[in-house]
Amino acid sequence: MIDDRSDFNTELDCTALPCLKWVENVIVWDMSSSAEPMTPGDFLNRLARLNTHQRRGIRAPHKPLLLLFALGRVLRDRDRLVPYEEVDRRVGDLMRRFGSPRSSVRPHYPFRWLLSDGLWEIPRYAELSKNASGDLYVSQLRDMGVEGGFPEKMHDLLRANPDLAWQAVEEILHGHFPESLHREIREAADLRGVQEARESENESAAPTLREREVGQLSFYSYLARRRRRDPFFRRRVLDEYMERCAVCDLDIRFGEQPFGVEAAHIQWHSHAGPDEVANGLALCPLHHEALDRGALGLEERKGTGLNVLISHEVRESRGETAGSLIEFSGRRIRPPRTASRAPATLFVVWHSNEVFRGPSL
């Protein structure tokens, strides 16, 4: 199981970096030593260096989910510090819904390890007991009513610059989750209501700061430019699957154009999934979201191609439903026209390990 603990290098020379200090054998950021206020560029660069265990595509989005929860509190004008008990309940729910099925649901990990990223503060950290790995004890966090939150200067910056907070939200979402899940994650993190309020005031829901306002480009923006999406990916995938959903065979046209069929990545683009047909499927919106949520999985059957798996967590009301998932359990997926462009095993295995919420029905 993935812990999502920090890989922060404890062998750094702290004397060369005045913003770092040792706290009980752990390096943490010390923002109180500088009289200068934090700038947007400082915050975005710190966010860009978030350590999230994404090696080889492994997902551990615990820190991003805690940050989204905390940004939601900032945008709703809540107190800077939040009790661990609330983090355990709220962020734990986010982890269960949007985390990897291989990851443990342990909100105390990001609550503690975000300290090393310079994005979190626990005022009573020095009073807390730690185990040999540096982890905090959940019982002590609860019994002592321990609180955590953005460092004060960072919180003040975000409160004064809601556009910056929204940029952080969007960069976290695009950096760690497929677009099909963004709306649901915003809602679960209490960001949706704030977004709608801004829209009602004719403001952009997620404005992006201009480079001159930030002072330097966000590292996420640099990555997005370096690894642009292939504009022809959708067209190639839809052509291979004859513009039909590979699961339910949906084939709707609006005039001469296909309507309601999308090109889905099997291994998410945010986690090194390439824009190759072998990493794509033509799916209707329902089955695209089901694939990204882990409700729908893929199983290779020797000699017969891919079969649909439906997670045991899927529940449907009795009776006929137009949007049934369960009825497709075990059904063979429509193959592409070119056999060599069928979904590659390594992408199917990645999805099975990192997204699908098995076992199947």
The predicted model scores a pTM of 0.81
245 and 287 in contact (C-beta within 8 Å)?
A: yes
Q: How many CA within 13 A on the CB side of residue 32?
A: 8
Angle between helices 62-75 and 84-98 (to 10 degrees): 120
Give the tens place of pLDDT for each residue, 180-195.
999 999 999 989 766 5
The predicted pLDDT at position 214 comes to 42
The predicted pLDDT at position 11 comes to 35
Give the tens place of pLDDT for each residue, 132-175.
999 999 999 999 999 999 999 999 999 999 999 999 999 999 98
Low-confidence residues of the chain: pLDDT under 50: 1, 4, 6-18, 20, 22-23, 25, 27, 205-226
Nearest residue to 263 via CA among 175, 273, 271, 255:
273
Q: How many CA within 13 A on the CB side of residue 291?
A: 32
Q: Considering just the CA atoms, what is the radius of gyration of the chain in Å?
A: 22
252 and 260 in contact (C-beta within 8 Å)?
A: yes
Tokens 């626990």 identify what position?
A: 122
Tokens 């990645």 identify what position?
A: 350
Q: What torsion do the CA atoms of 225, 179, 189, 91 make, to the nearest 10 degrees? A: -80
Domain boundaries, the chain: 14-226, 233-354
The predicted pLDDT at position 270 comes to 86
Per-residue tokens: 32: 């109180």
C-alpha 276/C-alpha 317 separation (Å) is 37
C-alpha 194/C-alpha 186 separation (Å) is 10
The predicted pLDDT at position 9 comes to 37
**DSSP 8-state secondary structure symbol assigned to residue 191:** -
Bridge partners of 130, per DSSP, are 136
**DSSP 8-state secondary structure symbol assigned to residue 334:** P
Per-residue tokens: 248: 């339910």
7 and 108 in contact (C-beta within 8 Å)?
A: no
Would you give the distance in Å from CA 360 to the centre of its chain?
24
Answer positive or negative: Cα dihedral of 213, 215, 220, 226.
positive
